[in-house]
Amino acid sequence: MSATRRPILDAKGIGPAFSQIALSASLDGGEECGPGEAIAELIRQSAEANAALMRGDIDGYRALNPHTDDYVLMSPFGGIPTRGSQMTDERWEAVGRFFRNGTFEQEVVETYCSVDMAVLVIIERCHVEVGGLPSQAWPLRVTLVYRREGVEWRLAHRHADPLVNGVSLKQAAALARGEAP
């Protein structure tokens, strides 16, 4: 469903029901992809992969969560998006060293799926050592976009931010101006 139609349907109270129907219907009449097997598998795969990452197991993460060649990461630390082509083996190893001794849980907020694309909107709740800092809670709001390539689902985009607990307008404005909070 188009982004412009969803608010109209939600205002009339039929958006949630319609989106559940849209989830289970394919765009071209082919294989269904909805609240069934494909989404359940992506949810499981995401949780297992990110749990591995929080333990510093980059090989486990990569095996469970293959990326598309044109993958784009919008990190929770902000800055310029990272493209998959920039992720050399050395960079992947550095990512694995960045996270240590963590635990991971995810809360699924919403899912969307068509024949060849799936989106998971989740809250990740991690307790982990990050970048040498002492272990602490790292809740993140995350959007994952998967694309089917052949028979395999691959992660095409990840956007994460640490705003689970919210910030004030003043704090958001300071961040937008590039000022430290």
pLDDT along the chain (181 residues), means of 10: 40 39 35 69 96 96 95 94 92 94 97 95 97 96 97 96 94 90 64
Inter-residue contact 118 to 77 (CB < 8 Å): no
Residue 33 is predicted with a pLDDT of: 57
Distance CA 72, CA 154 (A): 12
Residue 181 is predicted with a pLDDT of: 64
Which token pair is 70?
């044109």
Residue 37 is predicted with a pLDDT of: 84
Intervals of CATH 3.10.450.50 along the chain: 31-176
Distance CA 151, CA 172 (A): 41
Give phi and psi for 154, each to the nearest 5.
-125, 145
Q: Does domain 31-176 have CATH number 3.20.20.60?
A: no
% helix / strand / coil in the chain, to the nearest 5?
A: 35, 35, 30
Strand residue runs (E) in 45-98: 67-74, 82-83
Which token pair is 181?
């909070």
3-state secondary structure of 137: strand
Distance CA 91, CA 127 (A): 23
Residue 50 is predicted with a pLDDT of: 96
Name the residue type at position 21: I
